[in-house]
Amino acid sequence: MSPSGRVTIADVAAASGVGVGTVSRVLNGGTNVRESTRRTVLAVIKQLGYRPSYLAASLSRGTPRTVAIVVPHLTTPSAVMRLAGALTVLDEQGYDTVVCNVDTAGQRDHHLTALTSRYRVDGVIVVSLRMPRRWLALFRRAGVPLVAVDVAFTGVPHTVTDDVAGGRMAAGHLLSLGHRRIGFVGDTRRLAARDHLGFTASNERLRGYQEALAGAGIGYDAGLVRLGPHGAANAEALATELLSLPDPPSAIFAASDTQAMGVLAAADRAGLRVPGELSVIGFDDIESAMLLGLSTVRQPLEDSGAEAARRLCALLRGEPTGPLRQQLPLEVVHRSSTAPPRGSAPPPGGAYVGKTARRPQASAAGRI
């Protein structure tokens, strides 16, 4: 055994009476090795308890077979699902995945800096995180392939949805039910520079909402739009403001399901029935949405991660990844948190809906 106390490929070679090259061959591809030799070597490996050194192999090979995924606010349901989707395919493809959670701009820079080194990871997946151009340049210069999810980088493959269209769909659903006063609860447009990770989805969904309203000939009422830091608790506060307006909205579109949950909580505290007295629609279709009977605009979260991972793998194999921009579909899921406003005539052509509800039950009042 080597002086290091570790069983190396050389030990195996010696004990098997073959050269290290042969051992390496049976370890890897396995081509050009006589069956009997292979068996011997395999036996010796087991007997010696030999375990290959990942590091040595990586160094020699020139690639660590590892990719990094940078994801902000890991604990949010949508982030996890994207991560899970990516992990699944990365796993299948034989890559290790190092996960970099980012909650502040400082952390983002820290991780990004570390990753702009080749020989650390083969490539990186960036989720929902805007990146200054100079960072992109750094990655390109370092030769580290990049793909993005839920954010568009110029010159980089990205998997996204059309959030403006999504906003239109959500508002359109409400409009088609007959609502005219529709509130919006979303993320602050611009946080303090520090620790602002640059999410933009909420803004774009707001734009879609505005377009839909305009299209319906409804004047934009800034008083019906409330923006605040992300999170259900904040959304609850904002919705409460909306609901205590002299002329409150009959429906609220929340920029995410998490925020929609806050809106539902606000409605409950205000003693309003959903959807009887208030309709609520969210965005994302996280797991709780179904449990709560929340109508929402579904985006394929897990798929987005999986697709990005697939494209990164293709990139790493030198295969084409298709067009830079990959756009995933959105669909309205009508559950039991949206209905025509009180005392309204039934909608002219039925609700604007992409998919039928799991529970079309009339009463969605009550806890769920």
Partner DNA sequence: GTGAAAGCGCTAACAC
Partner DNA sequence: GTGTTAGCGCTTTCAC
Position among 43, 119, 327, 346 found at the interface with a second copy (CB under 8 A): 119
For residue 266, the Cα-to-chain-centroid distance in whole angstroms is 27
Least Å from the CB of residue 14 to DNA = 9
Q: List strands edge to edge, sheet with 225-228.
A: 225-228, 182-187, 251-254, 279-284, 295-298, 331-333
Least Å from the CB of residue 349 to a second copy = 28
In the complex with a second copy, the residue whose CB is nearer, 7 or 131, is 7
Residue of 74, 77, 70, 73 whose CA lies nearest to 114: 70
Least Å from the CB of residue 184 to a second copy = 20
- 323 is written with which tokens? 């067009």
For residue 312, the Cα-to-chain-centroid distance in whole angstroms is 15
Degrees to nearest 5, angle at CA 87 with 283 and 328: 40
Contacts of 21 (CB under 8 A, 6+ apart): none
Residue of 232, 227, 230, 208 whose CA lies nearest to 292: 232
28 binds a second copy (CB under 8 A): no
144 binds DNA (CB under 7 A): no
Residues in region 72-101 near a second copy by CB under 8 A = 74-75, 77, 80-81, 83-84, 87-88, 91, 96-101
Binding mask 20-59 for DNA (x = CB under 7 A): xxx-xx-xx---xxx-xxx-----------x-xx--xx-x
Q: Would you put residue 332 in left (φ > 0), alpha (ψ -120 to 50) or beta?
A: beta
Residues in region 273-292 near a second copy by CB under 8 A = 273-274, 287-288, 291-292
Residues that bind DNA (CB under 7 A): 2-4, 6, 8-10, 13, 17-22, 24-25, 27-28, 32-34, 36-38, 50, 52-53, 56-57, 59-62, 119
Residues that bind a second copy (CB under 8 A): 6, 49, 51-56, 58-59, 64, 66, 74-75, 77, 80-81, 83-84, 87-88, 91, 96-101, 107, 116-120, 141-142, 232, 261-262, 264-265, 267-269, 271, 273-274, 287-288, 291-292, 361, 364-368
